[in-house]
Chains A and B, each alone.
Chain A
Amino acid sequence: MAGSLQHYRRYVMLLVFLGGFGIVLFRLVTLQVLQAAELTVKADRQHQKTMLLEGARGAIVDRNGKVLAMNLEVPSVFGVPTDVDSPAQTARLLSPVLDVRVSELEQRLRQNRHFVWLARKLDPEQGRWFDRTRVEGIGVVMEGRRFYPKGPLLSHLLGFAGMDGQGLEGIERRYDSDLQGEKQIIVAQRDAKGRTVFLKGQQAEQVPASGHRLVLTIDEVIQYIVEKELDNAVARVQAKSGTMIVMEPNSGALLALASSPRFDPNVLSNLSPDRWRNRALTDAYEPGSTMKAILAAAAIEERVMEPETLVFGEQGSMAIASTVIHDHEKHDWLTFAQVIQKSSNIGAAKAGMALGDQRLHQYLQTFGFGAQTEIDLPGEATGLLKNFKTWGRRTVASISMGQEIGVTSMQMVTAIAAIANGGKLMKPYIVSEIRDAQNQLKRQILPQVRRRVISQETARAVTTILEGVVTEGTGGRAAINGFRVAGKTGTAQKIDPRTRAYSDSKFVSSFVGYVPADNPQLAMIVVIDEPQGEAWGGAVAAPVFNRVGQQALSYLGVSSSEPVKLAMAAGGP
């Protein structure tokens, strides 16, 4: 009896042990075989972390290396709502630090999610608070933020980059692929405290390369002079807007490009796209009398006119195709040079008609009108130049005085630069060099001649005529003491969208020219849209040309070629 009981106990013990081992074996097989793949992934997820490393966006500098745009790593703050015990208390604590309303923070922290942004791309000073204070469920990561240290300077040209570092406007957009830093995804090991550990065989120096650095042709100081004078002019005449471009006529490199009013690319909230539009490229306007400079080049090149050719001024009015065109002064006989200098519409119309529609159209195309200048900036308009076969009976006369044609400021300054440099149409450009993070030259952009548009002889003759515009004609206020200036004024009536006729109160005033006329260093255009009061290009735009030219020539150290008239102080020697 005692023996069978002992046997019975042994069997029970055996069964218990076998059962126990069976359970352990079953669990072992389940973990190691059946769920092996799933659990391996889970374990990897716990001790490995995937990191996206992104190289900094490249800087943009002017021709002298002055920084115009640069990236900086700044703190962004996120929350893990599931780890936050008291959303209301945390929101109250963070609100003054992040400068976000308490209710907004609380609402985000109450979301049923594992990750929410609380504030992105803060100022570095704001992030320092988190170095000193640890808040449960709140974390900080560093993200690249674009800074424009000069504020509104060059804003229309630089454009801006978006929250995720992609170029959205201007150079930032056009050269986005060059500016973008390299992106790398790496898998790192982490320990129990979450610190990154580099193990054998793992590359510790995986730093992605920064984006390329762009060197512009722009000169920061000349740009400042242009923006200051343009802003002053727009404010003085209460104009809608203004545009100015300064170009090196021999290379096509831009030294300055400005639109007024400006904007600060560091503060974009509440700004409409209208404010950041680069009007020098996107807006086509009827140029008015500045077109007569191009007409003169075409007429002299084709020998239908010489500077001394006499043209009858019709005493100030002439009928063409059942309409009448007028001059602002009555003239009888004028030389062709005087037609341009006194900006006679009738004389210009006669020169245009002598040239003929086909040749006029051909010269306008050759000078680059009706097509993009191919400058390396986005959003360029082609302007408006209709095929000559569709022209009306008055069109030749209208185009000769700058109507029935739409041009951009960029097209006009490129065309005048071609006259300035002796007849070569240059491709305008804004970026001269692209360098990598180690400052190695990756690409160099050199001046590019697109075509010859007129002979050197014609260019010289037109320059003499355009000098007369400043010394004897409508552009007197563009004259710069000590330098020979060549240029042309323009005052164009705008079309009233309500009546679809030319307005008597809305004008575009402009001046286009170059200086020194005998050795051109600067080709410039000033366009003022809808000035109030006196609207003549010679009164509104020419003084801006004068002030910018004077300061820019002095800054560039260009020596006077003419005797300087000195203004003596009262009581002085």
Chain B
Amino acid sequence: MRLLAMCTGLCLVFLFVWERVDMVRVGYQVERLKQEKTVLERERNQLHIKVSSLSAPDRVAKIATERLGMAPSQRGQVIVVRVGPLMAPSMQSAPVELRVAKQEPVDVRR
């Protein structure tokens, strides 16, 4: 009986020590993962800023006009076709607006 009590006591002591040690170990692990998370979040934010600066309108306009030879559409070059109630019933709920370049041949009956 006394031996059993001693063994139980020893087990409890070991359990307590193990729990304390493991808590510290998990604490280190948590800290390392937090640091990893911080680094990844930082990288994500850097990429956000990079995307944002690369999509700046002046840069896009410069590439479009100087490198790709594009030009802003002039009035009359874009024809807005509003599709109204004459369409099939399934399309009547939301009027559709089509914007087409004038240079392209367009069959408005389709």
B49 touches which of A72, A204, A480 (Cβ 8 Å): A72
Q: Which of B42, B48, B49, B78 has the most CB of A within 10 A?
A: B49
Q: Across the interface, which residues of A come within 8 angstroms of B57, CB to CB?
A: 150, 153, 220-221, 223-224
- Contact size range, B: 20 to 34
Encode contact with A along B73-109: 1 for CB under 8 Å, 0 otherwise: 1111010101000000000000001010000000000
Q: How far is the CB of B77 from chain A (nearest CB, A)?
A: 9
Q: How far is the CB of A437 from chain B (nearest CB, A)?
A: 12
Encode contact with B along A189-219: 1 for CB under 8 Å, 0 otherwise: 0000001111110001000000000000000
A384-B109 Cα distance, complex, nearest whole Å: 60
Contact B74 A567 (CB under 8 A): yes
Contact B42 A199 (CB under 8 A): no
Classify the interface of chain B: helix, strand, loop or mixed: helix
- A232 adjacent to chain B (CB < 8 Å): no
- B8 adjacent to chain A (CB < 8 Å): no
- A372 adjacent to chain B (CB < 8 Å): no
Q: Across the interface, which residues of B come within 8 angstroms of A72, CB to CB?
A: 42, 45-46, 49
Q: How far is the CB of B85 from chain A (nearest CB, A)?
A: 18
Q: Across the interface, which residues of A come within 8 angstroms of B46, CB to CB?
A: 72, 124
Contact B49 A147 (CB under 8 A): yes
The interface-forming segment of A240-248, A452-460, A549-557 is A549-557
Contact A557 B97 (CB under 8 A): yes
Contact A67 B52 (CB under 8 A): yes
- B4 adjacent to chain A (CB < 8 Å): no
Q: Across the interface, which residues of A come within 8 angstroms of B31, CB to CB?
A: 195-198
- A481 adjacent to chain B (CB < 8 Å): yes
A71-B42 Cα distance, complex, nearest whole Å: 10
- B6 adjacent to chain A (CB < 8 Å): no
15 further A-B contacts with Cβ under 8 Å, apart from A70-B49, A149-B52, are A149-B53, A150-B53, A197-B24, A197-B28, A198-B27, A198-B31, A220-B57, A223-B57, A481-B76, A554-B78, A557-B80, A557-B99, A559-B82, A564-B76, A567-B76
27 A-B contacts, Cβ less than 8 Å apart? Answer: A67-B52, A70-B48, A70-B52, A72-B45, A72-B46, A73-B38, A73-B42, A149-B52, A149-B53, A149-B56, A150-B56, A150-B57, A151-B58, A197-B31, A199-B23, A199-B27, A200-B23, A204-B30, A204-B34, A224-B57, A228-B61, A550-B75, A554-B73, A554-B75, A560-B75, A565-B76, A567-B74
**Which residues of A pack against B, CB within 8 Å?**
66-67, 70-73, 124, 142, 147, 149-151, 153, 195-200, 204, 220-221, 223-224, 228, 480-482, 550-551, 554, 557, 559-560, 564-567
**Which residues of B pack against A, CB within 8 Å?**
23-24, 27-28, 30-31, 34, 38, 42, 45-46, 48-50, 52-53, 55-58, 61, 72-76, 78, 80, 82, 97, 99
